[in-house]
Structure 1
């Protein structure tokens, strides 16, 4: 059946939107997320998702938690198993304050380069470390570097994990300055955006400094903040 030009454009827009959502959120198993971005956008709700990688860090995770508590905002923390093992009380603090703690591998390798058994070890060891501190087994996996291919997807699915990436990356890991981090987030955020930042892996003082402006500005724009992967 021929597709009329107007309908073809609509189909293209639909496929583009679905493709963006898949890249941002569901590169792994199809698992429904609470207040999923697609639902939020469709209903007119302005919801964004703050996520933090590479912790826990004794230097910066508590500072991030203090800012989030000050503004009454919850976030999702993708933690490295080695860091959880080294700083278990920080992971416990993240969970006690109502945030979601999820899996970011044991030692931050590129999962695309590992054997199936090595991927399983990276994920399951981290699961055990997080569960010991939170009482919950992570339901989501964020592969280091965002490195996803068919093998990573299938291995994550076999472990019962949804792969969660992001749609806004201010590259705070490069320490471009708090102002640059703020502007990159605020310029690119949309309803349903998943914002990538870091609370570990190096000096995250610029991220901590940028966070109050990001949160207060988004609140002033009418956004609320959701949590992924409960």
Structure 2
């Protein structure tokens, strides 16, 4: 398990932007936009393996005000809308996807954004290859970058909830974690016109309260099968090797588009995505609502 000091350093960039790594991204070119892909059905797996085990991390740096997200249909803030469907609370996160037999399909996910330095380049690469991905966004990043959320939705990507400040939920009470999750739902809903259907706990640190609260808000919990560990900036070649070595039908790959210098993450995606496609993999997303 990685130590708290490294993880705290990973998160400090979420409080302010720097210009590091921008020069490495200038080779990305814009492309046309396309329609959404076929659906895939998620399946619950066993608990995460040691290689995908959650790392410890710092608790939320500050308390959040209660959210009006659940009150809107009652209190009349904005247009009337249906409440998100409550789901059966799981006891374990979904680790992989069930596809039809013989379907060589995988799911790419990106956490911690959106970051205006890196997310647009990732979106352009995905658009160039006509594939869809999932973005698990942090509310404190999303609130000032709603244009990027709208671009994700316009391109057919799925936007998931990754809390507001990226705390370790299993160190929090239900009342502490509620605004972290609800406020992020609210930002996503405001930006793209629908609440998120998927939720990922920071560091993969789940507990019963997180599962229940996510289900109450209509979100399925998604973990990952292959961790690129790109946030450690191990080198583009290492990121590419980890993804290609872990490629298999139903795999969910964890990447990051924020939380630090993500130039290697962008370069890694640019290198491994066409190779996956050449190897016959279909890069897709699960259907918008859970099972």
**What TM-score results when the alignment is normalised by the length of structure 2?**
0.66
Q: Report the Cα distance in structure 2 between the residues aligned to 1:75 and 1:196, rounded to whole angstroms.
A: 11
Among 216, 223, 228, the alignment partner of 2:281 is: 223
Q: Is the 8 A contact 2:239 2:265 kept in 1?
A: yes
Find the counterpart in structure 2 of residue 81 from structure 1: 139
Find the counterpart in structure 1 of residue 103 from structure 2: 45
Find the counterpart in structure 2 of residue 179 from structure 1: 237
Among 112, 117, 129, the alignment partner of 1:71 is: 129
Among 164, 179, 182, the alignment partner of 1:106 is: 164
Deviations 1:36-91 (A, max 9, x none): 72234xx1100000000000000000000011011111100000001111212111
Across the two proteins, how many residue pairs are aligned to each other? 205
Find the counterpart in structure 2 of residue 115 from structure 1: 173
Give the unaligned 5+ runs of structure 2: 1-42, 50-87
* Aligned CA distance change for structure 1 residues 133 and 220 (closer, same or farther; 3 Å): same
Give the unaligned 5+ runs of structure 1: 1-16
2:133 is equivalent to residue 133 of structure 1:
no
Q: Is the 8 A contact 1:139 1:229 kept in 2?
A: no
Q: Report the Cα distance in structure 2 between the residues aligned to 1:229 and 1:164, rounded to whole angstroms.
A: 13
Find the counterpart in structure 1 of residue 26 from structure 2: none
Secondary structure of the residue that 2:143 maps to in structure 1? helix
Find the counterpart in structure 1 of residue 113 from structure 2: 55
Q: How many angstroms does 1:28 deviate by?
A: 5.2
Q: Is the 8 A contact 2:159 2:198 kept in 1?
A: no
Find the counterpart in structure 1 of residue 209 from structure 2: 151
2:124 is equivalent to residue 124 of structure 1:
no
Q: Is the 8 A contact 1:79 1:102 kept in 2?
A: yes
Among 190, 213, 219, the alignment partner of 1:161 is: 219
Q: Is the 8 A contact 1:55 1:83 kept in 2?
A: yes
Q: Is the 8 A contact 1:168 1:188 kept in 2?
A: yes
**What TM-score results when the alignment is normalised by the length of structure 1?**
0.83
Q: Report the Cα distance in structure 1 between the residues aligned to 2:193 and 2:212, rounded to whole angstroms.
A: 26
Q: Is the 8 A contact 2:99 2:105 kept in 1?
A: no
